[in-house]
Amino acid sequence: MNQDQLKLAVAQAALDYIAPKLAANSVLGIGTGSTANFFIDGLAALKSQFKSAVASSEASAKRLRGHGILVQDLNDTNGLDLYIDGADETNANLELIKGGGAALTREKIVAAAAKEFVCIADESKQVETLGQFPLPVEVIPMAREYVARELSRLGGTPIYREGVITDNGGLILDVEGLSITAPCELERQINQITGVITNGLFALRPADILLLGTASGVKTLKASD
């Protein structure tokens, strides 16, 4: 199976997983990225079985609306039943790196508001230690160089992602060269840098379940399985 086939398989597994959990008043959080897109396309067949969705990006909102799915603002809900999204990296504790699609801040908000976070990824995203994928950090534009200097002091090499402006008007620094052995600690440390909006570590709020696409089928994993 190629990578797209693995993504399609985990998207279908996620649809099968959430279908029995849906009710007429269910509100779903929907992520951003290529794997999430496969999920959104499949979700169209279930749109009569839940109320609405909250999207983590304008791109996902547009795709959901294109399938006739009601998209709500998070402020107009009482929280989310499920959040379904991909990841750029995951470890055995289901701590993640996200933000390759520059939607990390809204993804983190949606994850925080959800009762259950279902991560969908292919086996190439599973690592022993986070950090092989550059860690995205969203920053307020005027603080870009200051934050970059502070990130360098933490041992990483921040690279400005040129030409990218997030849905929040922020900029992205991708931090290379990190070996993240204490994800929760680093997540807090980076978020305390003045000018940082948030970073792409999802360790304080990790995934609850991981549906991992492999050559031998989709595996269902929980933390430290």
CA 164 to chain centre: 18
- Contact status, residue 62 vs residue 167, Cβ threshold 8 Å: no
Q: Is 107 among the catalytic positions? A: yes
Distance of CA 137 to CAs 57, 77, 96, 145, 156, Å? 16, 28, 14, 12, 12
Residue 34 known to bind ligand: yes
3-state secondary structure of 152: helix
Residue 101 known to bind ligand: yes
Residue 83 CB neighbour total at 10 angstroms: 25
Residue 33 known to bind ligand: yes
Residue 87 known to bind ligand: yes
Helices in 19-157 by DSSP H: which ranges?
A: 34-43, 58-66, 104-113, 144-153
Residue 88 known to bind ligand: yes
Closest CA to 45 of 5, 3, 6, 11: 11
Residue 100 known to bind ligand: yes
Residue 213 known to bind ligand: no
Residue 217 known to bind ligand: no
Residue 122 known to bind ligand: no
- Contact status, residue 191 vs residue 175, Cβ threshold 8 Å: no
Residue 98 known to bind ligand: yes
- Of 89, 107, 138, 150, the active-site residue reads 107
Active site residues: 107
**Annotated binding site for substrate: which residue ranges?**
32-35, 85-88, 98-101, 125
**Annotated binding site: which residue ranges?**
32-35, 85-88, 98-101, 125
